[in-house]
Amino acid sequence: MTTAIKMNLKYALTAIFLAVFAIFTASASPQDTAKKSDKFDAGKLIIEHISDSHEWHVTGEGENTIALPLPVILYTDKGLEFFCSCNFKHDEATYQGKNYSYKLNEKNQVEVVGANNEVDEAATAKVIDFSITKNVASLFFSAALLLIIFLSVAGSYKKNAGKAPSGLQGFFEPIIIFIRDDIAKQSIGPKYERFMPYLLTVFFFIWFGNLLGMIPLLPGGANLTGNIAVTAVLAVLTFIITTINANKNYWHHVIAMPGVPKPVLLILTPIEIMGVFLRPFVLMIRLFANITAGHIIALSFFCLIFIFGEMNKGLGLGIGVFAVAFNVFMGLLELLVALIQAYVFTLLSAIYFGAALEEPHHHDESIV
Amino acid sequence: MELVKPAIGLVFWMVITFGALFFILAKFAWKPILGMLSEREKTIADSLAEAQKARAEMAALTSKNQDLLNQAKEERNKILHEAKEAADKLKNEMLAKAQQEVEAKIQTAFREIDIQKKAAITEVKNSVGLLALDIAEKVIRKDLKGNAEQLEYVNKLAKESNLN
C-alpha cells in the first residue's frame, strides 16, 4: 500500500514538475513574440536555450526576467574590463566601461558601441570575452560538485579501510571498477594505470555535465557538455595524451603501415595521418551533437505546444498532453544517453591510448 | 554558425577548471580510491590463496593421518600375525616334544616287555625242560609198552601239566 502511495506521489511530482517547466517555456515565449513579431519563433527560442548566455536565466522575459546575473570579463586592447551582466538588463542597454561602451547583440555577444551608438566593428574584433557565462558558471558548479562528491568518497575509503564500502562510496565503486576493468584494462593493457585519473575525470565530468544539463532549473539547465568549446577541450586533451604517449610502433603504423605494398601506402598514409586528427575531431562532434540534439528534441516538443496553441488554444492543450508524455519518454532516453556518451568518450579515449602504446606484433615483424 | 564555433572565453575557463579538477581529483581522490581498491583486491586474493593453502595443508594432514593409521593397523596386524606364528610354533614344538617323549616311553615299555617276554620264555623253556624230564621219567616208569599207548600217555601227561 505504501508503495502504491509512493508511486502516486512520484507521478504527481513528475506531473507538477512538467507543468512548471511547461509554464516557464509558456511564459517565455508569448511576451517575447508580442514585442518583436506576432509569430512564435521556435527556432530562436531553441537556439537561445542551447547557446551560452551572459546571465543564468531562471524564469520570465523582458521586464519580468528573473535571472542570476553573472560577471562580464572583457580583455580589450586598452586593458581588462570587469562588470556585472545586470548592466545589460534591457536588450538595448549599453554599459559605459572604463575603456569603451558595450552592449549585447542578438547573439548574446558583447559589442563595442561607438559615440553615435553605432557598433565599432574594429574595436569589437579586439575584445576577447572571458566572461563567466552561464556555461562557465555551470562548469564551476559541476567541477565543485565532482570535487565534493569524490573527495568525500575518497574520505570514506580512508575511513572504511578494510571494510565493505558504504553510501556514496558503494554507489561509485562499481562504476570506478567498471572503468578500470572494462575500459582501461581491456583497451590499454598492462600500462593502464597512468591513464586512470584522466579517464575517471573525463567520465564523471561528462556524465555529471550531461545530467546537470537535463535539470531545467538553476544549478542545471546549461548545455555544458553540448557546447563545442567544452567538447573541443576534452577531445584536444585526449589527442595530446595520445600523441605524447605514442610509441615508435604507432607512428610506424601511421606513416608506413607495415606489410602494405608501397603503391597502397600512397593512399593509406594520408588517410592514416588524417585519421590521427579526425579521431579527436569526431570525439568532439559526437558528444556535442548528441547532447545538443537531446536538448533540441525536448525543446522542440515543448515549442510544438505553443505553435499549435497560437492556432487554437484547445489544440495547444491537446498537443501539450502528447508533447509532455513524449518528453517524459525522451527524458528517460536522455538519462541513458547521458551515461552512454560519457562511456563512449571514455572508451574511445582509452582505445586511442591503447593504440598509441601498442607494441609491434611478431607476425608484423616477420612481414617487414 | 555560432553553435559550432568554440568561444575563446569558455575554452579558457574549461582548460583552467578541468585542469584544476583533474589534478585535484587525481591527487586527492583517484589515487587513494584506486590504491585502496587494489589493496583490498590484493587482500582478498591473498586471503583466498591462504585459505586454499590451508585447505591443501589440511588435506595433506588428513591423508598423513590416514597413512599413519594405516601403518599402525598394518603393524598391529603384523604383530598379531607374528605372535600367532610364535604361538603356533611353540605349540607345535611342545606337541612334537610330547610326542617324542610318549614315543620314547612306548619304546622303553616295548623294550621292557621284550625283556620280560624273553625272561618268561627262558623260564618257560626251563619249565618245559623240567616237565619233559618229569614226563620222560614217568614214561619210563610206566614201562615201555606199545607205541600208541605210549603216545597217548605222553599227550595225557602233557595235558595234565601246567604250562604256565
Task: Output the DSSP codes for A7-75.
Answer: HHHHHHHHHHHHHHHHHHHHHHHHHHHHHH-SS--HHHHHHHHHS--SEEEEE--GGG-EEEE-EEEEE
Report yes or no on B1 lying in a domain: no
- What's the whole-number mean pLDDT along residues A266-294? 93
Rg (CA), chain A: 25
Is pLDDT at A87 greater than 90 in this prediction?
Answer: no
- Given CB atoms, is A291 within the 8 Å cutoff of chain B? no
- What's the whole-number mean pLDDT along residues A187-202? 93
B12: distance to nearest CA of chain A, Å? Answer: 8
A268: distance to nearest CA of chain B, Å? Answer: 30
Confidence class for position B143, pLDDT limits 50, 70, 90: low
Closest chain B residue by Cα to residue A161: B36
Q: Which of A52, A201, A228 sits opposite B25 (nearest CB)?
A: A201
Question: Is ipTM > 0.90 here?
Answer: no
- Given CB atoms, is B28 within the 8 Å cutoff of chain A? yes
- What's the whole-number mean pLDDT along residues A203-224? 90
Query: How much of chain A exceeds pLDDT 70, in percent?
Result: 86
- Given CB atoms, is A78 within the 8 Å cutoff of chain B? no
Average pLDDT, chain A: 84
pLDDT the model gives residue A18? 59
Q: Residue A119 has what DSSP assignment?
A: B
Residues B154 and B164: their CA atoms lie apart, in Å, by: 18
Residues A324 and A335: their CA atoms lie apart, in Å, by: 16
Question: Inter-chain contact B18–A292, Cβ cutoff 8 Å?
Answer: no
Q: Residue A312 has what DSSP assignment?
A: -
Q: Which residue has the cell 513579431?
A: A37
- What's the whole-number mean pLDDT along residues A188-204? 94
Report yes or no on B55 lying in a domain: yes
Is pLDDT at B34 greater than 90 in this prediction?
Answer: yes
Confidence class for position A262, pLDDT limits 50, 70, 90: confident
Report yes or no on B65 lying in a domain: yes
Between A144 and B141, whose confidence is greater? A144
Question: Inter-chain contact A176–B33, Cβ cutoff 8 Å?
Answer: yes
pLDDT the model gives residue A22? 53
Q: How many domains does chain B have?
A: 1
Confidence class for position A29, pLDDT limits 50, 70, 90: very low
Question: Inter-chain contact A161–B10, Cβ cutoff 8 Å?
Answer: no
pLDDT the model gives residue A7? 52
Confidence class for position A105, pLDDT limits 50, 70, 90: confident
Mutate to test the interface with A, among B5, B10, B30, B47 (most CBs of A within 10 A): B10
Q: Which of B7, B33, B36 sits opposite A52 (nearest CB)?
A: B7
pLDDT the model gives residue B30? 94
- What's the whole-number mean pLDDT along residues A352-366? 75
Is pLDDT at A65 greater than 90 in this prediction?
Answer: no
- What's the whole-number mean pLDDT along residues A45-72? 83
**In chain B, what residues touch A107 (CB-CB under 8 Å)?**
2
pLDDT the model gives residue A34? 42
- Given CB atoms, is A237 within the 8 Å cutoff of chain B? yes
Residues A103 and A58: their CA atoms lie apart, in Å, by: 21
With vertex at residue B104, the alpha carbon angle to CA B102 and CA B105, rounded to the nearest 5 degrees, is 65
**In chain B, what residues touch A151 (CB-CB under 8 Å)?**
24, 28-29
The region of weakest confidence among A121-130, A223-232, B93-102, B142-151 is: B142-151
- Given CB atoms, is B58 within the 8 Å cutoff of chain A? no
Closest chain A residue by Cα to residue B22: A201
The region of weakest confidence among A186-195, A224-233, A353-362, B115-124 is: A353-362
Report yes or no on B152 lying in a domain: yes
**Residue B48 sits in which domain range?**
7-160
pLDDT the model gives residue A1? 42
What digits encode the pLDDT tens for the residues B56-109?
Answer: 999 999 999 999 999 999 999 999 999 999 999 999 999 999 999 999 999 999
Closest chain B residue by Cα to residue A156: B33
Closest chain B residue by Cα to residue A176: B34
**In chain A, what residues touch B47 (CB-CB under 8 Å)?**
none
